[in-house]
Amino acid sequence: MLNFDNLGLCESILLSIKAKGYTIPTPIQIQAIPHLMEGRDLLGIAQTGTGKTAAFALPLIDRLIKNRVKVRPARMRALILTPTRELAAQILANINIYGKNAKLTNTVMFGGVGERPQIMAMSRGVDILVATPGRLLDLMEQGHVRFEQLEVFILDEADRMLDMGFITDVKRVIQQLPARRQTLLFSATMPQDIASLASTILHKPVRVEVTPQSTTVEKVEQKVAMVEKGNRLMLLRNIVRQNSDGSVLVFTRTKHGADRVVKHLEREKVVAMAIHGNKSQTARERALHSFRSGKIKVLVATDIAARGIDVPGVGFVINYDLPEDPESYVHRIGRTARAGRGGIAISFCDNSELHLLRAVERLIKRKVPVDVTLKHQ
Ligand code: AMP
Q: Give the Cα-Cα-Cα angle 92, 312, 107 (nearest 5 degrees).
A: 5
Q: What is the CA radius of gyration of the chain?
A: 21
- Is residue 25 in contact with ligand 1, taking CB distance under 6 Å? yes
The verdict on 64 and 198 lying in the same domain is yes
The verdict on 94 and 228 lying in the same domain is no
Is it the case that residue 212 has pLDDT exceeding 60? no
CB of 28 closer than 8 Å to CB of 51: yes
CA count, 13 A, side-chain hemisphere, 151: 17
- Is residue 334 in contact with ligand 1, taking CB distance under 6 Å? no
The verdict on 178 and 293 lying in the same domain is no
The pLDDT tens digits of the residues spanning 120-164 come to 999 999 999 999 999 999 999 999 999 999 999 999 999 989 888
Q: How far apart, in whole angstroms, are the C-alpha atoms of residue 155 and residue 185? A: 5
Q: Read off the amino acid at residue 214.
A: S
Mean of all residue pLDDT scores within the chain: 90
The pLDDT tens digits of the residues spanning 31-69 come to 999 999 999 999 999 887 789 999 999 999 999 999 999
How far, in Å, is the centroid of ligand 1 from the Cα of 299? Answer: 21
Chain CA centroid to CA 275, Å: 14
Inside any domain, residue 215? no
3-state helix, strand, coil in the chain (%, to 5): 45, 20, 35
DSSP state of 368: P
Ligand 1 atom closest to Cα of 48?
2
Is it the case that residue 214 has pLDDT exceeding 50? no
Q: Provide the residue range defining the domain that includes 161.
A: 4-209
pTM (2 d.p.): 0.66
CATH of the domain at 161: 3.40.50.300
Q: How far apart, in whole angstroms, are the C-alpha atoms of residue 152 and residue 184? A: 8
User: Of all protein residues, whose CA lies closest to atom 11 belonging to ligand 1?
Assistant: 51
The pLDDT tens digits of the residues spanning 111-120 come to 999 999 999 9
Inside any domain, residue 355? yes
Ligand 1 atom closest to Cα of 4?
19
Domain-terminating residue out of 175, 209, 243? 209
The verdict on 256 and 146 lying in the same domain is no
Q: Which secondary-structure segment (H or E) carries 348?
A: strand 343-349
CB of 287 closer than 8 Å to CB of 299: yes
Instruction: Work out how many domains the chain is built from and give that number.
Output: 2
Inside any domain, residue 374? no
pLDDT for 213 equals 43
User: Of all protein residues, whose CA lies closest to atom 5 belonging to ligand 1?
Assistant: 51
